[in-house]
Homo-oligomer: A and B are copies of this chain.
Amino acid sequence: MKQINPSIIYPIENWHVSETEFDITTNQRSETIFTVGNGYIGIRGCLEENSSELENHTLPGTYINGFYETAPIIYGEAAHGYAKNHQTILNVPNALPVTITMDGEKISLFTGKITNHTRKINFKNGLYERHITWTSAKTGKQIAVSFSRLVSFTRKHIAALKIQVIPINFTQADINIESALQGAVTNQEHDGDPRAGATFSGQVLRTKETIQQNGILGLVQETLASELEIASGIKHSMPGEITQKTDFWSEKWYFDGSEPIEITKFISYVATTENNREMLCNELATASSLGFDTLLQEQTAFLTDFWETADIQVTGDDALQQALRFNAFHLLQSVGRDGKTNIAAKGVTGEGYEGHYFWDTEIFIFPFFVFTKPEIAKKLLKHRYSLLPNAKERARDLACSGALFPWRTINGEEASAYYPAGTAQIHINADIMHALKLYVEVTGDTQFLREKGLEMLIETSRFYMDYGDFVAGRGFTINGVTGPDEYTALINNNTYTNLMVKDQLEFLVASLTEEISTQFDVTDTEIKQWKQAAKQMYIHRTDSALIGQDDSFLTKGKWPFEATNKAQYPLLLHFHPMKIYQKQVLKQADLILAMVLQSERFTAEEKLVNYDYYEPLTTHDSSLSPATHAIIAAELDRMEQAVSFFYYTARTDLDDYHHNVKDGVHTAAMAGSWLAIVYGFAGLRIKNGNLHFQPKLPKEWTSYQFRITFQGRLIEVTTNLKGTTYRLIHGETISIFSDNNSLQL
């Protein structure tokens, strides 16, 4: 097990995360932490004023989920069927810039004297707030400046920034405020870390039209290669002098310093190619007529509803309590809720992993939403369904029938430029189908299964049947794949993959109807083969309870952990992949994850033996990993390890364990903290359609409480020193199981 040294960065607070000092060296990280977003728009927590001193210490960024540029992938040596194009989430026009001067002096963190500087986000109302108290070194005049930002959860295309300037110790000063929309923006330059983003440099948004009407300043731009359009605009709550510089639309105001100033900047982004200009103008008109306070009320109401089901309360560790809320809040900010977008590995907080959607969605994040906000989970599945045509095409690229979903993508096309850790992870199909099954189990929405789910099930299963082989003496084998553990590649019969496919095939066969079979040309022979493959699915078992991660894993030499120093982690940045692949070493949970998702397919002994075998070999170089180990450690009563792993996953971002929060939050690790409580300490599993719990309370805590929705009910689970109580908050009576005892709620 990897040792982490928790070092709290931000103050521990219940419903906020804040900083009370500005540290230029960690500013990029804080910009990620203080991002506000609504699953469509994400605005990093950057300072409003531009300062040359910030160069190399800021990553200005506003992103639109699903809005990307493409560039051809260049291979040193290309081959047939390789993914063709990079897709990279695009930095869109920056609507933040506000420049305030007093008596000709620019108010910034690098001029005058700062007696107070805070940034904060509030999980209850979704507000970003920044306060500065600034004193002129020349005149001694003191001024308080506040910025309040929100990105509306209820109005997809709307954000707002309120600017307040309060004179403190004077009554007269020349105060100028300039507020802008900066159209010339670029993505970060690539720094060589394969986990970071960007595949092109320079500006890729070309301005097609400018907008100046009804107080709106805006731009309609299009990308060079992907040919997508976006309209961006701002509208202020007070009219001012409008200027246009080369890459800057701005409005300016002049005040005499005699009284407090308040200006609200309404912001909108519409990333559609049709009617974007009209939509933008309408959205801005509506938002500005409602005003900032109304937007904030809507925001608060939306979040109140969210926390009603999503909040987890832990007593006994405030740092964890804060992290759980921070994580849930960021998940909500990151998730696409329109059925046209998904949730990127970094949400809409940064350019890491190029803004791509991975299996992170279905395996780590989906359970959080399906149990708390199932309508969002449905949208995520709908989005995958919309990409089924691409997945079919991709299967053709691999000379296979059926459909293969892309390992990483924005637009549905495969964008993994290194197939051994990309396309070869064909478990992505089964991961998505696992989410579908979970969705149907949790919601009972068989209509979705019939209308969209089964088509995906059939096509992805067809891919597996074609890619796999019945091999005499073995059964159904799936060779030439990479499992979840990316430190092992292109192997045969990855146990995780094979078990997930087995489960998918069983689910498919059980869900098929004659009508559906007819609709998709499913023959009896095909069904028979699905049944056979599921039944005869090859699993690399040994003489003992130890199971091979794949056919070859157990016969490899072990990684020389003792000769590896701390600075050599993550291994992927310090060793050639060949060298990593040839040893017994894991980047992340693999078979252990199968023990969570296919819990009933392992005996208790198998879980114990395999956890003890694989855990010490796991570097957790992937942020996805600790949550899974937390869950199984809890199941195996390794409570100390479970708490430690839970702590790791819960505070991955707040404490920046991977030193790359600057590139964006780790949405899957965030969801992992929810999983670690609900699947881990509370032991939630669905067996035969029923909810089962096996709650345990770590000795460090006095209680935890959470709620889940299940087939129309809302159920509250409270575990404290006295035991666990289950409460049906609403919905019809239901039987659940606690420690295998049936309870009627």
Contacts and interface: CB of A to CB of B under 8 A. Distances in A.
Nearest to A199: B76
Contacts of A489: 490
Contacts of A480: 556, 578-579, 581-583
A418 B576 contact: no
A551 B81 CA distance: 27
Nearest to A473: B555
Contact of A492 (B192, B418, B556): B556
A424 interface: yes
B424 A578 contact: yes
A575 B80 contact: yes
A448 interface: no
Interface in A71-106: 73-83, 86
A397 B74 contact: no
A190 to B, nearest CB: 10
B551 A82 contact: no
A400 B578 contact: no
Nearest to A192: B78
Contacts of A491: 552
Contact of A75 (B75, B470, B574, B576): B75
Interface string A45-85: 00000000000000000000000000001111111111100
A477 interface: yes
A479 interface: yes
Nearest to A72: B76
Copies in the complex: 2
Contact of A81 (B74, B397, B424, B576): B576
A423 interface: yes
A79 B579 contact: no
Nearest to A469: B557
Interface string A549-587: 001100111100000000000001111111101110000
Interface extent on A, as a size class? 35 or more
A444 interface: no
A358 interface: no
**What DSSP secondary structure best describes chain A's contact surface?**
loop
A573 B78 CA distance: 10
A619 to B, nearest CB: 15
B578 A423 contact: yes
A279 B551 CA distance: 61
A417 interface: yes
Interface in A446-496: 467-471, 474, 477, 479-481, 489-492
A477 B582 CA distance: 10
B469 A79 contact: no
A398 interface: yes
A418 B552 contact: no
B556 A479 contact: yes
Given A467-B582, A555-B492, A576 B397 contact: yes
Nearest to A474: B555
Interface string A580-620: 01110000000000000000000000000000000000000
A68 to B, nearest CB: 16
Contacts of A398: 576, 578-579
A215 interface: no
Given A80-B575, A81-B575, A579-B398, A417 B492 contact: no
The interface centre, meaning the residue of A83, A397, A399 with most chain B CB atoms within 10 A of its CB, is A399
B399 A79 contact: no
A579 B399 contact: yes
A551 B491 CA distance: 11
A479 B194 contact: no
Contact of A74 (B74, B194, B399): B74
A666 to B, nearest CB: 19
A507 interface: no
A75 to B, nearest CB: 5
Contacts of A80: 572-577
Interface of A: 73-83, 86, 192, 194, 397-400, 416-420, 422-424, 467-471, 474, 477, 479-481, 489-492, 551-552, 555-558, 572-579, 581-583
8 contacts: A81-B578, A398-B579, A419-B576, A423-B576, A467-B579, A469-B556, A479-B556, A480-B583
Closest 8 CB pairs of A and B: A76-B417, A480-B582, A469-B557, A81-B576, A77-B418, A73-B76, A77-B417, A479-B582
